[in-house]
Structure 1
Amino acid sequence: MASVGLFYVGAVLFINGLMLLGYVEPKAAAILNLFVGTLQVVTPTYLIFTANGDTSTILQASGLYLFGFTYLYVGIGLLAGLDSTGVGWFSLFVAIGALGFSALNFTQLANQPFGVIWLYWALLWTLFFVLLGLKRERLTRYTGWVALIEGWVTAAVPGFLLLAGLWQNRTLTAVVLGIVGVVMVVALLPTLRGAGPRHAEEAPEPTPRPTAPEPEPAPDRPLTRT
C-alpha cells in the first residue's frame, strides 16, 4: 500500500517542479497536492492501525506523514493565497526528520537504497525551506528542477518497480542512486546564474519623434478699396 502512495508522490513532485518552473499555475497544482496529501495521511494511518504493534512497520509508516502534511499544507496555502513561510519552516523540520529516517534505513532497516532516497528528500526539503521560508527566490529554478527530477528518481520509478515486484534492494541500487544524485546537484548549478524572480520587463516609453513646427498664421491684411 505504501508503494501506491510513493508512486503518486512522484506525480505531485513532478507537478510542483513544473509549477516552480512556471509551466503550471499554482492553483492548478494545488488540487493534486490535496489529493496526494490526503492519500499520504490515510495510508500511514491505515498501516499503523493494522501493524499489530510491529515497530518496523510503524517506523516506516510514520515517515509518510512528513509528505502528507507538506502536500496538504502546500495545497491549502496555494488555494487560500497564504504566505509561504509556514510551509517553508515546516520543510526544515521535514529535512531534519529525513536525515534521521535515512540513518535508520542504512542501519536498523538495512535498506540502503532508501537510505539514499531519504537523503535526496532531505536535500529537496532543505531547498523548500531556503526558497519558501527564507525567501531566497534565486533558488526557484534550481529547486523546480530538483523537485521534477526527484519526482521520477525517488518516487515514481521506485514506486512502480515495487508494485511490479522488480525493485532491487541491493547495494548496487544505492550506489547508482547516489551517483545520479551527485550528477543532478552539479549539473543543475548553471540554473542558479541570473535565477532571480522573473518579472515582465517594462518596455521603455517610445521617444517622441520630432515634428516640424506648425507655420504661424498670416496676419490679417486690412481691406482696401479698389
Structure 2
Amino acid sequence: MTISVPIKRALSHFAQVETWVFDLDNTLYPPHSDLWPKIDARITAYMAAMLGLDGLSARALQKHYYRAFGTTLSGLIHEYQVDPADFLRFVHDIDRSSLDPNPALAAAIAALPGRKLILTNGSHAHALATAKQLGIDHLFDDCFAIEHGDYLPKPHLQTYQRFFDRHAVDPARAAMFEDIVHNLEVPHASGMLTVLVKPKEGAEDFREDWEKHEVAPPHVDFVTDDLAGFLAGLVR
C-alpha cells in the first residue's frame, strides 16, 4: 500500500470525519478493471448512431465533450438536447461479471464510523449495480448520482452544494475519495479531507492522460493506491 501524507495533514484528522464520500468509477473499483472501457465504448456507439458519425469521429467528439463539459452527456445535452435518461440507460447497460467482489474493501468500509455515501457522475442504477457486484451496496446510506445534480457533473461547485444540501453534509466533518484530481478541488476548498485514489505502479490504467497526475497538487491531502488498506489503516 502506498500512502502519501502531506505535512499539512495527519491521519489523526480523520478522527473527526462523520461522513465518508466515495466516487464510484475507478475509485471503488480499480482503474485496471474493464468496466470503464465497456462504458466508454458504448458512449462512442451511442454518439455514432445518434449523429451518423464513423467510430473515429464519434470518439474524438466524445473526448472533446468529456474534457470541455465534465461528462460527454453534458456536452450532448448542451449541443443536442439529448434525453439523458435514454443515454444513461444505454451506456451503462454492460456486463459487470468481470468485476470480482472485494471482501477486504467491504470490511474496511463497514468498519468506518458514520455515514457512507457515493457521489458519482454515473447514473444511480449504474452505481447500485456496480456496488452490488463488488459486494458493498449494503454498506452505503445513499448515492448522489448525476441525475440528482440535474445532470451537472463534478467538478462544478453547484453539484457539490446540491450534494451537501441533499444529504446534510458538513464538509468540515467529511472526507472525499476520488480518482480524478480536479474533482477534489471543490471538496478541499469546502473543508473536506481529500484522498486521491490512484492505480498501483505498473497497473493498466484506462483513464484519459489528462486525468492522470504524477504529483498531487496542494488540494489533495492524501494519496493511496490501496483504498481498502488505507481505510483499514484509519480504523486501526
- Indicate the structure (1 or 2) with the bigger Cα radius of gyration: 1
The structure with the largest helix share of the pair is 1
* Shared fold, TM over 0.5: no
Normalising to structure 2: TM-score of the pair?
0.27
Normalising to structure 1: TM-score of the pair?
0.28
